[in-house]
Structure 1
């Protein structure tokens, strides 16, 4: 009976996934064709020179470009490797289905020595957005600012950080009025979820039993607590900064967007000044000049790759690839990522809306979403979060994310290949749960001590880089994540969770059978087998004052190179205490002001020089 039910669930999910994939394929082909017709040959697609060139149109790049274009005197070119998003990108619940598509760079890490033992080839899958809107088109939309102490460590004043957070937000719902900025031009809408299951309320009640109150975690100074998260959404629809950029473009005729185009190199004059970029598009290559600045906002993976291809990076590594060294900087080092685990860790005896019957209700769900902006399709995947100080420090060290489903919920159709779950792990641990109601309470390591690196695979711009996050290499990371597991155990033993029949999944993790279930040794083995990225890599172009251990200064300009800036997650010296997209938006707002002010200051200096020189010239004439 179970076998028949399993294959029925698998059939309906595979059929639905196939239709979804076919739509994306057709949309991508039409998008590529439309771009070719619209732009024609490369030389007719763009001007020869712009005031600013922004590389990457993700959360940071689209926001930076929009802000720079607000001054209508300035011309701005945005170069994006991907194309336009489809309507399906707007539906929050489709996030995992957009991975492993042409809108995803589909990065894969090196095999991990101390982690990912239950993942195929011990390689972590890293979905990153290759589309206008970037990874914010694939993410789970959770909006958390982090903690003030995170940004103290960066050397950024708290009042500036808070100002730029507020500038990037248009708050609606419970928190409307807590921001000084009302008008999402250039920023994002931040709102309450439109839909959640009963599990969210039960989780909040369980936390309250353990004396963790429901608080606004975006106050950035709060004690440990929980909340239903805010998400980057408006009226149930995903909101990414490319939307805001479009709105500004309607008012800014000098803002040009060039999609489906790969920047191969930043052009640098005399080793000290960036003056343009080399772009490959539809088989053609062309150069575009930047009068004032080149801004790299291609993300934690592509920005360091582009810098190294341009001659900026570790000298010994560049020389190995026969790349002329312009600046010997630690590009690609300091790689960090939020690590998580815990899929399908909780079994329930109560049915939730996320189960095998969900797909059968698609017509009703579609009507609720498209006609009303409501219903299950507006769900971001995660419906409650908590920040906890489990090691006793002054900032959170573990985040819990509550999902009313798990890897087994779709019978392995979408999430399994996206995460690279091995055959052994699937068949022995997840497959027996198909058809059962599961939930996932994911503990996320907020401040890992492990550090990885990113390096070029070759000097070919089309080759993906080598990524080695070195997950769980530091023993303290295991201790902190284990404390997160212990907190989950306490939560499901509360009266609130027992009311749903909650229990830990007793099935031993394959490869960990020799350890007593629920012992510290078992959980360490479990963590090293089911090691998952939380999709938050940062740090590969670290910000700092010392060029020996950082790539950009606190003004986000690359050390020793004029007119070249990095404005994206790669500049983070350390991870924030929360999901990273909010911090990226804050960085983009601050970075845009930095670039604009640098140009304004430069213009004032030129005017002063002219004023000083002109009387002398007049006297001589």
Structure 2
């Protein structure tokens, strides 16, 4: 990768990263949430959070909607299948069955297996949280939204430790908004800890190093950074013109079909057609808690001729041309093995006390050998998937061109795959955990199970940063669940106070 760095894009827009992501709706695994509860977070077990997944859901797949235990209809957030699939989509599921896996509802009773994707999509277009939740209530008299605004600081009284407002910049001017009840911080796993540190909440020693007076010493702020990463470049050439190739996809006919019938290849989410959850030898084979997710695509790194994906993944021209140049714009399918439970932890620090300066981001990918081992087994399974009889019907053959720094190793050995993984592994943009939820006994916990920041009154964090551990799958759905549950926690607290105050008033 260029400068050995990767690009972390975030959604600085109404709706956050749900406006930018691939719209995948994966809730995670029951054991994820039961583990959160076991860490000392009552109310966050799977049976507790399932109603909040269902609360927002409007499931448009009638087969899935019949399962009332796990799905619901009528919520703000539309969930549907892809309106368009290539012939590879069905083949992916058949290949999974050939390998001995079930076809499952990955948001239902069993996660292990193969499945079509479920998307936050409505009639072929993105259903972001802005479209789902903001648009229907935008005209309410008690709803106020400030656009083109960049928050620079949380206002906290250093003597009382009470959060009382927010400072922000709009149109080049500094402005302040005051809170009557409390401040809710939902800036995401990067900017939430950044704002807390800028406001005097964080590791006191680090804050002093950047000339910020500490208000509350919270060493966990910015720590515990987790992300899902996947191995790129697992591509299989096929003999038929049926995959997503960009220069064949973008044309007037596709545009008209998309505009008129709300389907066609332009509704495809970068060629994602099926998902699989499998367990490597490092996971408990009898336990439904897989450690690898396959993102199965009717496209790959080379499907756009090196115009977009190469840059998004931070690949150098030299690397791309050597590995993928000969298959540019060819018909391929891809398997992206994604590690689900990383052991490595990164952290975020302030570069300075300037709120407009990006923080320092240390992901620490692949610093734990256990992560490399799991990914390696995932890659082996991906290659085996492409060699099934089902996929060979399409003439599937693995593109085995080695990366430049791995040519000296024998192909397909453990040493080769270890090298391959370190050459082309990419973020899936699931940053989380940087203001983790935990009990008072956990010195690295930032918020309590009610999502209230320790040591400060009137401040909550409600976003991906509160996850103690990252969930087993894409985090779009869990973050929306956290928001739904967080909203109920806020309402419950203030309703309790309102009832208490009313009782006091009537007894006087």
Secondary structure, in 3 states, of the residue corresponding to 2:460? strand
1:435: Cα distance to partner? 3.2
Which residue does 1:369 correspond to in 2?
Answer: 258
Which residue does 1:478 correspond to in 2?
Answer: 372
1:140: Cα distance to partner? 0.6
Secondary structure, in 3 states, of the residue corresponding to 2:145? strand
| Alignment of structure 1 residues 171-190 onto 2, 5 Å | 171-173=59-61, 174-179=63-68, 181-185=72-76, 188-190=77-79
1:510: Cα distance to partner? 1.2
Residue 252 (structure 1) aligned with residue 147 (structure 2)? no
Q: In 1, Cα distance between the equivalents of 2:416 and 2:204?
A: 43
Q: Give the conservation status (yes or no) of the 8 Å contact 1:452–1:468.
A: yes
Which residue does 1:128 correspond to in 2?
Answer: 10
* Segment drifting more, 390-399 vs 344-353: 344-353
Q: In 2, Cα distance between the equivalents of 1:357 and 1:529?
A: 27
Secondary structure, in 3 states, of the residue corresponding to 1:154? helix
Q: Normalising by the residue count of structure 1, what TM-score does the alignment of the two structures yield?
A: 0.77
1:438: Cα distance to partner? 2.1
Q: In 1, Cα distance between the equivalents of 2:120 and 2:53?
A: 13
1:350: Cα distance to partner? 2.3
Which residue does 1:554 correspond to in 2?
Answer: 449
* Segment drifting more, 233-242 vs 412-421: 412-421
Which residue does 2:232 correspond to in 1?
Answer: 342
* Segment drifting more, 149-158 vs 441-450: 149-158
Which residue does 2:40 correspond to in 1?
Answer: none
Which residue does 2:196 correspond to in 1?
Answer: 307
Q: Give the conservation status (yes or no) of the 8 Å contact 1:344–1:408.
A: no
Which residue does 1:68 correspond to in 2?
Answer: none
Q: Give the conservation status (yes or no) of the 8 Å contact 1:215–1:222.
A: yes
Structure 2: runs of 5+ lacking an equivalent: 38-43
Which residue does 2:41 correspond to in 1?
Answer: none
Which residue does 1:511 correspond to in 2?
Answer: 405
1:436: Cα distance to partner? 2.0
| Alignment of structure 1 residues 282-431 onto 2, 5 Å | 282-329=171-218, 330-355=220-245, 357-359=247-249, 362-381=251-270, 382-390=272-280, 391-393=282-284, 394=287, 395-431=289-325
1:160: Cα distance to partner? 1.7
Which residue does 1:463 correspond to in 2?
Answer: 357
Q: In 1, Cα distance between the equivalents of 2:23 and 2:456?
A: 35
Q: In 1, Cα distance between the equivalents of 2:337 and 2:160?
A: 46
Q: In 1, Cα distance between the equivalents of 2:313 and 2:401?
A: 20
- Counterpart of 1:565 (choices 453, 460, 475) is 460
Instruction: Please list every run of at least 4 consecutive aligned residues from structure 1 whose deviation after the TM superposition is greater than 6 angstroms.
Output: none
Which residue does 2:489 correspond to in 1?
Answer: 594
Q: In 1, Cα distance between the equivalents of 2:290 and 2:165?
A: 42
Of Structure 1 and Structure 2, which has the larger fraction of its residues in helix?
1
1:176: Cα distance to partner? 2.4
Q: In 1, Cα distance between the equivalents of 2:329 and 2:136?
A: 47
| Alignment of structure 1 residues 197-276 onto 2, 5 Å | 197-219=86-108, 221-222=109-110, 224-250=112-138, 252-269=140-157, 270-276=159-165
Secondary structure, in 3 states, of the residue corresponding to 2:177? strand
Q: Normalising by the residue count of structure 2, what TM-score does the alignment of the two structures yield?
A: 0.94
Q: In 2, Cα distance between the equivalents of 1:470 and 1:398?
A: 19
Q: In 1, Cα distance between the equivalents of 2:391 and 2:256?
A: 32
| Structural RMSD (CA) | 1.5
Q: In 2, Cα distance between the equivalents of 1:213 and 1:488?
A: 17
Deviations 1:309-368 (A, max 9, x none): 010011111010111111111100000000101335222222224125424x52111111
Structure 1: runs of 5+ lacking an equivalent: 1-118, 615-621
435 and 244 in structure 1: CA distance in 2 versus 1, 3 angstrom threshold: closer
Secondary structure, in 3 states, of the residue corresponding to 1:392? coil
1:611: Cα distance to partner? 4.0
1:130: Cα distance to partner? 1.2
318 and 366 in structure 1: CA distance in 2 versus 1, 3 angstrom threshold: same
Q: In 1, Cα distance between the equivalents of 2:263 and 2:243?
A: 14
Q: In 2, Cα distance between the equivalents of 1:420 and 1:298?
A: 25
- Counterpart of 2:333 (choices 435, 439, 450) is 439
Secondary structure, in 3 states, of the residue corresponding to 2:488? helix
Q: In 2, Cα distance between the equivalents of 1:577 and 1:322?
A: 39
244 and 342 in structure 1: CA distance in 2 versus 1, 3 angstrom threshold: closer
Q: In 2, Cα distance between the equivalents of 1:483 and 1:344?
A: 13
Q: In 1, Cα distance between the equivalents of 2:3 and 2:357?
A: 20
Secondary structure, in 3 states, of the residue corresponding to 1:199? helix
Q: Give the conservation status (yes or no) of the 8 Å contact 2:116–2:273.
A: yes
* Segment drifting more, 419-428 vs 469-478: 419-428
| Alignment of structure 1 residues 108-187 onto 2, 5 Å | 119-155=1-37, 156-173=44-61, 174-179=63-68, 181-185=72-76
Q: Give the conservation status (yes or no) of the 8 Å contact 1:344–1:438.
A: no
Deviations 1:134-186 (A, max 9, x none): 1111111111111100001111132221100100211002322445643333x
Q: Give the conservation status (yes or no) of the 8 Å contact 1:344–1:405.
A: no
